[in-house]
Structure 1
Amino acid sequence: MMLKKIHLSTKKILILALVIALCMGFSSSGTLPKKLDPLAPDTVYVNGKIITMDADSSSAEAVAVKEGKIIAVGKSKDIRQLAGRSTKTVDLKGKVMLPGLIDAHSHFPSSGLVGAVYVDLNSPPVGSIEKIQDIIDVLTERSQKTTEGEWILGRGYDQTLIKEKRHPTRDDLDQVSTKHPIFLTHTSGHLAVANSAALKLAGITKDTPNPDGGTIWKDRETGEPTGVLEEGAMTLVSKHVPPASFEQNVEAVKEAVKQYTAAGVTTSIIASGSKESLINLQKYSKQGILPLRITTMGTGGGLGDVSASPGEVGGFITGFGNDMLKLGAVKMWQDGSIQGYTGYLSKPYHVPPGDDPDYRGHPLQSREKLAERVTELHKNGYQVAIHGNGDAAIDDILYAFRKAQEAFPRKDARHRIEHAQMAREDQLDEMKELGITPSFYVSHTFFWGDQHWETFMGPERAARMSPLNSAVKRGIRFSIHLDTPVTPMSPLQGVWSAVNRTARSGEVIGPEQRVTRMEALRAVTIDAAWQNFEENIKGSIEQGKYADFVILEENPLTVDPMKIKDINILETIINGDTVYKK
């Protein structure tokens, strides 16, 4: 009995002690102590130079994060007061914090396949290929490690950057092997070249007609295919290429994630995707190897092409997805690549590729067919993004968007034009009128600015490529992108090109089209978020938005403008978690 009384007394004492401790913990204002405060942030970042990218382009010193969201932004002394005993405090020590950078248009995770699945055929400054023989040599090296009869794949060659100034041919590739089928993709992704074995597998002969939207290059004297394939003709061979295995794709994702996060990217917009690629992305996400936020565009020109079975992936429909993986615009194409001579221009190329002085490239479909497809998608509420490099292609795209809006008026559709490389002033006026938003590939001024000036466009038109400042003057919101793997992932390189417009030779390509640093930074943060209807959840460091940040060693607003692309990315943070640290 005595033992029982002692036991009860002990329980009472413990309860009383807990009550006293709680009462003592209350402050005079009646709030819970920091140790028990359920509202305390998980992490506070203090003593930084925070470029918020908000509407006022304001700056701050500190930010507080809880459960992957920003809960406060302000001065260090104020943010510190929010911290509880379990809050992690990160001293930025004067380093610069920006909202996570948004890759507005690339082909994740393709860059991860280069080297492992594809032989890297890029020329300087990206790779080492300087002549046709270099291509033959690296492919021969791969062939010696490849089982006879298996495919050898390469990507990234650029005829404008090699000594011979021409595409490799089937004869060049046959020097590597006639037993291995070989298939090389041009850096633009709009041309390819195959050897004799690959052409044979595809059944391509001198009698094979050009497919819709594509061209089989043939020798003028013999009529035999040279191996070079444009646009739609590439699929005649590519459909026979075995897809990368799931294991290879997993490794590609891991490698691409390293590349993107090391560049400060927290969101990637995949500029074309299929049902199969979306299913794979879901698998990668479930495996925990995809920390990036991904928005993938669907491809096709009709609802049947872009809709998936709801039971499989939810379909390309409103409501599918989550904060890490979702569907975006429907992607279409109206022309190809200017450096591949498949861009569609209103006036001839400065130096045409053959004997025709009036050569202007070509559209991939009639403008009426394009308008029909766009109208169907627009009517059903989709955002549409159309690839258009040449100004004639952009004319067709604007015609299609106008027809769609006339038939089914819709506010704030935010239809996109991808690349918009040679957009004219009158076309920008029409974009403004129709509410069209371009995503500019302004890094062309660095990688191909010299070639556009001398060969493709000539000085006058080249100076107007990627006309960012003309868009700014009209109040047109836009993004800028790298189109990786066409060029390496580096949003800061895109910012550098937008600010400097310096070519590889050192020449400035159209100085009047340069924009300010803040305007360029907005194009990889808040304006890129707006372009995808996500301005309320990302793109700036403001209360309620995702805790997606990038920490830089130097301030892109004050550093020497020629050093912007070389600023070190120190840390990349998604949902408040570090995914990359230098």
Structure 2
Amino acid sequence: MKRNFLSKRNLFIFSLVFALALVGFSSGTLPGHLDPLASDTVYFNGKVITMDKDAAIAEAVAVKDGKIIAVGSNKEISKLKGRQTKVVDLKNKVILPGFYDAHSHFPSSGMDGTVQVNLNSPPVGPIKNIDDLIIALKDRAMETHEGEWILGRGYDQTLLVEGRHPTREDLDKVSTEYPIYIGHTSGHLAVANSAALKLAGITKETPNPPGGVIVKDPKTGEPTGVLEESAKGLVSKHIPVVTEEENLASFKKAVQDYISKGVTTSIIAGANKQGLIDLQRYQKQGLLPLRVTAMGAGFGGAITSGELGGFVTGFGSDMLKIGPVKLSHDGSIQGYTGYLSKPYHVPPGDDTNYRGYPATSREELTKRVIELHKAGYQVAIHGNGDAAIDDILYAFRTAQEKYPRKDTRHRIEHAQMARLDQLDEMKKLGVTPSYFVSHTFFWGDQHRDIFMGPERASMMSPLKSSIDRGIKFSIHLDSHITPMDPLQAVWSAVNRTSRSGKVIGPAQRITPLEALRAVTSDAAWQNFEENEKGSIEKGKFADFVILEENPLTIDPIKIKEIKVLKTIVNDKVIYEN
């Protein structure tokens, strides 16, 4: 009898809860503990640019447990509200998938202006000539203790009045006691003063390292202080590791720079072991609010941390994971270290046939790519010049012939001077480029007049030709090379306007929608995350950016002026303007 009584009571309770659930579901008003289907948050009364395959526009989004559960009209989504649901009135503002930074150097980008003196020229920094640069470094010397290094980054010889690199003699005017090391804006060259060169043991007899050049005075044979590519490491390896306090300050600055521009996922283009350890620690401390995928830094054939641990592309969590292995096969066009098939428009010296140089031989590159491809890695290779891209495509093709794999999505980073025939080969091999299209603004005038000449400059970052061939790609800022701002990259892709206001290659401009895909859905696809990120669709992460204006309808020339109002990761506001 007791068992029968309990069964009847349980049946009564179940019937009551079920009835209440039916009423609550229809009205959307039950308390959370009796309303398991109600959403945690409803975003309504907005312009929801979903970035799905149909580019659908909606009004509202419902989220539960950090994931999207429904997208639709205000009326449809309101049915998913419960008493505990947080309701966010978008007030007719625009909500997009969070921006996907496809290639940058987070969080080391935060060192600009903290550990390193900002030596950029306008509009990024204040340096207009070499005297300005010397003054900025002297100011840092005033607060530098004896024996410490003075570091700077971001100078660009093409934007300095003198039109040349600083030299050791220039830096010696700051100090001959403190070692000084300053990086070029491209990241591919540096300049050291006499004290730094002495510490590194660099003299007129020092040979060039593989893949690098110690620039020497043609008359005296003495080092000028300018170091190209791998030669930088001869000096930089002597720079002390930053303190934990400096590291944390730089990290926090980088986080703020990224989230204030709507970035919810960042792909680090080369992270070493210590970098991965730091990221894990900061995540555990609750200091990493955005998602990070770290490429393994396999520069110069180095074995990456992921390889040492046996971890292939994709290992990790939703917040921090391992991405491709990042290799590098040439340098910077504006640094004259990009590897071209035809000579530079205006050579850097007397050699009219100068074409730059590769980081290593085609054979060495191919050997490394085969090794990684066979092991199941996605491979991302830095290639700016078209000769470098020839070698990269050869390596990918050879690896695929030896060990066929489906859907590798191997990447070419920057792909600045990719030719049309190379795009055809990328399509055939399933290779996906990540274009540094903001070159058209920051260095478009120099590429047209100095480095590439008008014809080749018009084809830099060939986005429209890629779309015509059905090639998916991403666009990026390569921060700290240029400031983090995905809407600036979108603006450059749409307008291709240089610093002087001239259009660089009008035939390669794309639409705002196509450009937005390159920082959302296509960027996510490029990294095997199309089922989790990149569009506002059911089942995907609630990672959003809320904008003040609509980039699809605003005057295209004003896209980069649009303000980010909120950045949201996992349904949590991580930045609010």
TM-score by length of 2: 0.95
Aligned residue for 1:442, secondary structure, equals coil
Cα gap change, 1:185 to 1:86, in 2 (>3 Å):
same
Tell me by how many angstroms 1:267 deviates: 0.2
Kindly indicate whether the alpha-carbon contact (under 8 Å) linking 1:493 and 1:564 is maintained by their aligned counterparts in 2.
yes
2:6 match: none
1:443 partner amino acid: S
CA distance in 1, matches of 2:120, 2:351: 29
**Residue 432 (structure 2) aligned to one of 437, 440, 443:** 437
Kindly indicate whether the alpha-carbon contact (under 8 Å) linking 1:52 and 1:99 is maintained by their aligned counterparts in 2.
yes
1:144 match: 142
Identical amino acids, percent of aligned pairs: 69
**Residue 517 (structure 1) aligned to one of 505, 512, 520:** 512
Aligned residue for 2:158, secondary structure, equals helix
2:553 match: 558
2:270 match: 272
CA distance in 2, matches of 1:230, 1:102: 31
CA distance in 2, matches of 1:263, 1:285: 20
Cα gap change, 1:158 to 1:66, in 2 (>3 Å):
same
Tell me by how many angstroms 1:125 deviates: 1.2
Residues 436-461 of structure 1 show CA distances to partners (whole Å, capped at 9, x for unaligned) of 00000000000000000110001000
Aligned residue for 1:72, secondary structure, equals strand
Cα gap change, 1:30 to 1:161, in 2 (>3 Å):
closer
2:30 match: 34
**Residue 399 (structure 1) aligned to one of 391, 394, 397:** 394
**For 1:42-53, what aligned pairs fall within 5 Å after superposition?**
42-53=40-51
Tell me by how many angstroms 1:364 deviates: 0.8
Tell me by how many angstroms 1:360 deviates: 0.5
1:414 match: 409
Kindly indicate whether the alpha-carbon contact (under 8 Å) linking 1:442 and 1:481 is maintained by their aligned counterparts in 2.
yes
Tell me by how many angstroms 1:560 deviates: 0.4
Aligned residue for 2:233, secondary structure, equals helix
Aligned residue for 1:173, secondary structure, equals helix
Cα gap change, 1:565 to 1:319, in 2 (>3 Å):
closer
2:562 is the alignment partner of 1:567 = yes
CA distance in 1, matches of 2:19, 2:459: 70
Cα gap change, 1:445 to 1:410, in 2 (>3 Å):
same
Kindly indicate whether the alpha-carbon contact (under 8 Å) linking 2:270 and 2:298 is maintained by their aligned counterparts in 1.
no
**For 1:261-300, what aligned pairs fall within 5 Å after superposition?**
261-300=259-298
Unaligned runs of 5+ in 2: 1-9
Residues 373-422 of structure 1 show CA distances to partners (whole Å, capped at 9, x for unaligned) of 00010011100000000000000000110110111111100000000000
Residues 159-202 of structure 1 show CA distances to partners (whole Å, capped at 9, x for unaligned) of 01110110000000000000100000101000000000000000
2:69 is the alignment partner of 1:74 = no
**For 1:375-524, what aligned pairs fall within 5 Å after superposition?**
375-524=370-519
CA distance in 2, matches of 1:260, 1:465: 26
CA distance in 1, matches of 2:232, 2:301: 24
Unaligned runs of 5+ in 1: 1-14
CA distance in 2, matches of 1:30, 1:229: 68
CA distance in 2, matches of 1:164, 1:498: 31
Aligned residue for 2:77, secondary structure, equals helix
Tell me by how many angstroms 1:23 deviates: 8.0
Aligned residue for 1:199, secondary structure, equals helix
Tell me which moved more, 323-332 or 243-252: 243-252
CA distance in 2, matches of 1:145, 1:30: 65
Q: What's the RMSD between the two structures over aligned residues?
A: 2.0
Cα gap change, 1:453 to 1:29, in 2 (>3 Å):
closer
TM-score by length of 1: 0.94
**Residue 574 (structure 2) aligned to one of 544, 561, 579:** 579
Kindly indicate whether the alpha-carbon contact (under 8 Å) linking 2:153 and 2:182 is maintained by their aligned counterparts in 1.
yes
Tell me by how many angstroms 1:308 deviates: 4.8
CA distance in 2, matches of 1:259, 1:316: 30
CA distance in 2, matches of 1:27, 1:241: 67
2:98 is the alignment partner of 1:100 = yes
1:548 match: 543
CA distance in 1, matches of 2:274, 2:551: 39
1:449 partner amino acid: G
Residues 58-84 of structure 1 show CA distances to partners (whole Å, capped at 9, x for unaligned) of 111000011110011000111011000
Kindly indicate whether the alpha-carbon contact (under 8 Å) linking 1:199 and 1:237 is maintained by their aligned counterparts in 2.
yes
Kindly indicate whether the alpha-carbon contact (under 8 Å) linking 1:307 and 1:317 is maintained by their aligned counterparts in 2.
no
**Residue 189 (structure 1) aligned to one of 187, 190, 193:** 187
CA distance in 2, matches of 1:505, 1:30: 59
Cα gap change, 1:387 to 1:279, in 2 (>3 Å):
same
2:162 is the alignment partner of 1:164 = yes
Cα gap change, 1:307 to 1:127, in 2 (>3 Å):
closer
Tell me by how many angstroms 1:38 deviates: 1.1
CA distance in 1, matches of 2:245, 2:162: 38
CA distance in 2, matches of 1:111, 1:26: 51
Tell me which moved more, 339-348 or 240-249: 240-249
Kindly indicate whether the alpha-carbon contact (under 8 Å) linking 1:253 and 1:290 is maintained by their aligned counterparts in 2.
no
Aligned residue for 1:272, secondary structure, equals strand
